[in-house]
Amino acid sequence: MPVKERMKIADEVWLAAALLHKEHPEAKDFSVDEIVRRAEKFERPDSSRPGVYVHVIQHCVANRPPNPGKSRILFETAEGRRRLYRKSDPFHPARAGSKIAPEQGDIPVEYQKLLLWYANWSERTAQSQSVGDPLLLLAGSGKRIWTDEHADEYVEHLREGWQ
Q: For residue range 24-34, what is the model confidence (pLDDT) as tens digits?
A: 999 999 999 99
Residue with the bigger pLDDT between 9 and 131: it is 9
d(C-alpha 37, C-alpha 150), whole Å: 62
Q: What is the pLDDT of residue 7?
A: 85
Statement: residue 41 has pLDDT above 60: yes
Helices (H) and strands (E) in the chain — how many of each?
6, 3
Domain residues for the domain of 94 are 3-136
Of 53, 127, 65, which is closest to residue 96 (Cα–Cα)? 65
Give the model confidence (pLDDT) of 129-158 as tens digits: 545 566 655 666 666 665 677 878 888 888
Statement: residue 12 has pLDDT above 70: yes
Beta bridge pairs of residue 29: none
Q: What is the pLDDT of residue 1?
A: 41
Q: What is the mean pLDDT of the chain?
A: 85
Instruction: Tell me how many domains the chain contains.
Output: 1
Of 163, 72, 90, 77, which is closest to residue 126 (Cα–Cα)? 90
d(C-alpha 37, C-alpha 115), whole Å: 21
Q: Is residue 115 part of a domain?
A: yes
Residue with the bigger pLDDT between 6 and 34: it is 34
- Judge contact between 119 and 28, C-beta under 8 A: no
Report field, pTM of the whole predicted structure over 0.85: no
Statement: residue 93 has pLDDT above 80: yes
Statement: residue 3 has pLDDT above 60: no
Q: Is residue 152 part of a domain?
A: no
d(C-alpha 127, C-alpha 11), whole Å: 25
Q: Is residue 143 part of a domain?
A: no
Q: Is residue 163 part of a domain?
A: no
Q: Is residue 145 part of a domain?
A: no
Q: Is residue 159 part of a domain?
A: no
Q: What is the pLDDT of residue 130?
A: 46
Q: What is the pLDDT of residue 133?
A: 60
Q: Is residue 25 part of a domain?
A: yes
Q: What is the pLDDT of residue 152?
A: 85
Q: Is residue 158 part of a domain?
A: no
Q: What is the mean pLDDT of residues 8-35?
A: 95
d(C-alpha 86, C-alpha 64), whole Å: 15
Burial zone of 56 (CB within 10 Å; 0-12 exposed, 13-18 middle, 19+ buried):
buried
